[in-house]
A and B are shown apart, each in its own frame.
Chain A
């Protein structure tokens, strides 16, 4: 079973600051690493994903950095806004089943004005 370790568990950031969430995964033969954003009472929504033939992907204020040799990847949220307050999940392909992913335990982000 794929293990995905996500940190920190919770994060408080000032408005305009940078939010950084880290994930580490075990072995996988497949490379697809999505980040999901979830608001209370809602299902997770895809935020950004990377297929690491590149080490970094940027979409607006959101950037994924990927370190394949270290089996780590991170989400950076630049210029964090109160509307970014949500729970963020990383995910990595599951062992033995390339159609599914294993989710991290989540990071609850609070952006304060």
Chain B
């Protein structure tokens, strides 16, 4: 068990460009979450997958953001036409649950995005 991994760790891009981040959850974890964290704040929920189904999206996730989890394994988060306000740490977390209820989420190291 190598934990949750994210790639890249850092991304610098110019405003208007598209970026894509990847998250590999802990193997056999059926739930996957994306969060955004800005300096001095706690992580803010963006979206959540149960297996390959995207079950919930935050209002923070504008039309420029899209997330996928094909085959219920790794996930990608794409930001189109990036804006300076998108600069943040993007965190992925995964968990395992057979039933409803809140379970323990394990976080990856994050992808630090800087939009110039």
Q: Show the binding face of A for B, using Cβ within 8 Å.
A: 4, 6, 30, 32, 34, 36, 41-46, 49, 89, 91, 93-94, 97-106
**For the complex, what is the distance from the CA of A6 to the CA of B110, rounded to whole Å?**
23
Are the C-beta atoms of B102 and A30 separated by less than 8 Å?
yes
Contact residues of B between 53 and 68, Cβ < 8 Å to A: 55-56
Q: Distance in Å from the Cβ of A67 to the closest Cβ of chain B?
A: 19
SS class of chain A's interface: helix, strand, loop or mixed? strand
Contacts of B4 in A (CB 8 A): 43
**B109 CB–A CB distance under 8 Å:** yes
Contacts of A36 in B (CB 8 A): 107
Q: Distance in Å from the Cβ of A57 to the closest Cβ of chain B?
A: 14
Contacts of B102 in A (CB 8 A): 30, 32, 93, 98-101
Are the C-beta atoms of B31 and A106 separated by less than 8 Å?
no
Q: Distance in Å from the Cβ of A22 to the closest Cβ of chain B?
A: 15
User: Closest residue to A91 on the B side, CB-wise?
Assistant: B42
**Considering only CB atoms and an 8 Å cut-off, how many residues of chain B contact the other chain?**
28
Are the C-beta atoms of B105 and A101 separated by less than 8 Å?
yes
Are the C-beta atoms of B42 and A43 separated by less than 8 Å?
no
Contacts of B48 in A (CB 8 A): 97, 99-100
Q: Can you list the 6 inter-chain pairs with the closest CB atoms, starting with the nearest?
A: A103-B42, A43-B107, A32-B102, A43-B109, A44-B107, A93-B102
Indicate whether A45 sits within 8 Å of B107 (C-beta atoms), given known contacts A100-B48, A102-B45, A106-B41.
yes
A-B contact pairs, 10 of them (CB 8 A): A36-B107, A42-B109, A43-B110, A44-B43, A45-B107, A97-B48, A98-B100, A101-B45, A104-B42, A106-B41
1/0 per residue, CB under 8 A from A, across B66-106: the answer is 00000000000000000000000001010001001111111
**For the complex, what is the distance from the CA of A93 to the CA of B105, rounded to whole Å?**
12
Contacts of A45 in B (CB 8 A): 107
